[in-house]
Structures are given as structure tokens and as C-alpha cells.
Amino acid sequence: MKKGTMKKIIITITIIAFGFLGMMYLTSTNKTSNKRKEVVNIRKVETKKVIYDDFTLSVKGNGIVKSKQSLDVVSEATGKVLYAKNNAKNGTYYKKGEIILKIDSREVKNDLYSFRSDFMNSVASMLPELKNENNDEQYKKWYSYFNSLDIVKETPELPQTTDTREKIKASSRNVFSKYYKVKNQEILLSKYNIAAPFDGYISNSELIENSYVTRGQRLFTLIDAKNLEIAIPLLVDEVNLINFGTPPRVKIYSQKDKSKFIEGRIYRKDINLERTTQTINVYVSFVNRSLASDFLPGNYVEAEITGKKLADVTIIPRHLIDSEGNVFVIKDGKLGRENVDILTYQQDHAIISRSIPENSELVSTILQKPLVGMRISSINDPEPKDEKVAVSDSNDQSNNIN
């Protein structure tokens, strides 16, 4: 055999031997490295523990402040205005019982004095006849009444007349008719002085001193700026959240500065549903003692009404509940789903009755494509040790079969 041929054979055998040895080495190392450690990733989420407690509902609304007492004053007399406090200008403050306006009443007053004088003459004409009849009881009664009469003072009530003969004497002298004529004139005279029925302010006035007013003329408006009310429209569902057994408490907030508020109470509510808005008005009463400008009549304010008290409930964000009334929770390290009983909503939160176990971990992170049963844990839990799982390759499995 030639040397060149032998040399090729030897090289070929050497290459095959080295290839076989390399394959055996790789096979032996593959068996020790077929099993690898795989780290299982556990998703971290924010959670909220479910705690049950008593909760007082609140209902929010708004409205415009109005005076509880607003009175349009109309003249019941005719004449010249002799006095008007501060010329009855808008914003003039007055106290209860204070005279706001005086109208010239001299003619009416003179007529009253004349009527009183005529009435006194009629009463005096009865006295001699009663004395001659020796009826001391009736005489003393009418004599005492006559002495109480004064032409410039209000006429007192007539004495009681029970005896028929006494009534005949009084009627024949027109005592009764003249008495009521005097009382009517006294009422008419009182209408020439207008006194304030409550503390407040003058508004919508175009009246000044020395002007002339007639009967039936509108003079001005009296407004109580301390005792106020707000009409707050509420939906029927909101009204049902309020306990009207006792006047519910209300906090009234300034629209400009939410740190300013006054407390009031609901004192009445409508019984008819507003057809266009489907709401019912509740009326809140409050007192603005300091006359704070944020709560004067005409201001737009917000109100928070204390509602019913619910026992054994929990509050969760509204967006955590799906359309079927379910929430996600963590159960044994896995994602679970629970159905909840929703009692009502409060703005962005839902009030839930005891429908899931207390201390359950409610998932508050919004999950994308959540799978019930997936491994999950709370970010508040300590970091767990990496879980390692042995996984065999297909080559190893084929080797084992062989």
C-alpha cells in the first residue's frame, strides 16, 4: 500500500475517533445539565384589607340661600310720609318692634278722639239711671269703667253685661255700636305707623320722606338676613338615605371657601316629585348670626346632609367592582373572585354588607386580563424566596426511554 494512502486512512480514523470521544463527552455533560432551575415570577399587587364597621351615610346637594322671612310691605293708609328710617334705603338695618315708617295720621287721630268722646258721653248717660235704681253692683261696674276711659289712651274692653235690663240701657244709648266704632278707628290709626315684625334689612325700596303714599301701594320688602333656608333638590334614592325621624343635621359650605361652614337642620320636605327633574326638595334651616357674607341671601352654597347609620358594612372604591358585582381577592396566594352585596353608593365608593370574610385581601390594583387562579401576592407581604422548579428537556426524556 502506498504511503499516501496509508496516511489518509490514519487521518480519517483519527478524526472519527476524536469525533466519537467528543460526542461521548457532550452526552455525559448533557445528563448533568438537563435539569435547570426555573424561577417562577409572582405578580405583586396593591391590596386593601376588608374591615367591617358602622358607617353614617352622607348626601350632598346644593342650593341658593333664601331668607326664611321675607315680607312685602303694602300701605294700608293714605297720606304724607313724615318719617322713614334712613329714607328707607336698601340695606337699612332695623330691629324687631322698631318704627320704620310714619304716615301723617292727624286727621285719623282727630276722628278717633271725637269717637272716644262720643262713646264716653254714652257711658256717662247710663250712670244716673243705674244709681236711681239702687243697683249698686251695676253702677259701680260702669262707674269704674267710665273712670278708666281716657280720650288719648286705647279704649279698654267693655264690662260683661249679663242682665237683660242692663243690656237694654246700654243698647238704647248706642254704647255697643260706638265702642266698636272707636276700636275700628284705633285699628286704622295703627296702620299709619309701620313697625318691624322681626330683625332684618330693607330691600326693594323707592320710598323717601315727604313722599305721598296711597292705600294698596307697595312700599318695600323686609328681609330677615339671619334666619335663612336652602331648598336642596334630591333624587328619590338620595332621599331614601336620610332618616327624617329626627331633624337631620346639615353642614352648609361656602362655595368660595370650603373651610367656612355653618351647621343647620332639615325642617321640612316636599311631598310632590318635581316632574321635570324627578327630584324632591328638602329645606334646610340655619342661622347666620354673624351675617357672614358667604351665607347671605342669594349665595350659592353646597350642603352635606347626615344620612342613615348602617351597621356592619365596609367601604371599597367603586371601580373595583365589575359589572356582575364581583371583586378580586387573594386566596392562598392565588387570584380569586368574590361576589359582594352592594347596599348603596357614596360618590366614588360602594357600601358593602358582610358578604365576604373579614380581613380578606381585596385586590385594589386594576389587572389587565386577570386569570382566576394565577399566582399573586400583596406588595405589603415580605419578599418570598424564589421558587425553583425542575424541568426536563425532550432530549433527556428520549434518552430515558431508550
Which residues pair with residue 324 across a beta bridge?
none
Distances (CA, A) of 309 to 61, 155, 248, 342: 19, 60, 12, 15
SS (H, E, C) 205-268: CCCCCCCEECCCCEEEEEECCCEEEEEEEEEHHHHCCCCCCCCCEEEEEECCCCCCEEEEEEEE
Q: What is the pLDDT of residues 120-144, one digit of tens each?
A: 999 999 888 888 877 778 888 999 9
372 three-state secondary structure: coil
Q: What is the pLDDT of residue 234?
A: 94
pLDDT at 59: 93
Single-letter code of the amino acid located at 245: G
Question: Residue holding cell 243705674?
Answer: 130
Q: What pLDDT, on a 0 to 100 scale, did the predictor assign at position 395?
A: 39
Q: Is the CB of residue 131 less than 8 Å from the CB of residue 93?
A: no
Which residues of the chain, if any, have pLDDT below 50? 35, 387-402
Tell me the average pLDDT of the chain.
85
Q: What is residue 347's predicted lDDT score, i.e. its pLDDT?
A: 84
| 18 membership: H or E segment, kind and range | helix 3-33
pLDDT of 2:
54
Q: Which stretches within 334-393 are classed as H helix? A: none
**pLDDT attached to residue 72:** 92
Domains and CATH numbers, the chain: 58-67+225-311 (2.40.30.170), 70-104+192-223 (2.40.50.100), 106-190 (no CATH)
CA distance 202 to 91: 5
* Chain segment 237-294, per-residue pLDDT in tens: 899 999 998 899 999 999 888 889 999 999 999 989 988 989 999 999 999 999 899 9
pTM of the predicted model over 0.85:
no
Contact between 202 and 94 (Cβ < 8 Å): yes
What pLDDT sits at residue 157?
A: 94
* Contact in structure between 363 and 47 (CB atoms under 8 Å): yes
pLDDT of residue 8: 65
Q: How far apart are CA 328 and CA 356, in angstroms?
A: 11
Q: Tell me, what's the pLDDT at 21?
A: 67
Q: Give all strands (DSSP E) within 257-339, no chain letters.
A: 261-269, 279-287, 300-317, 326-331, 334-339
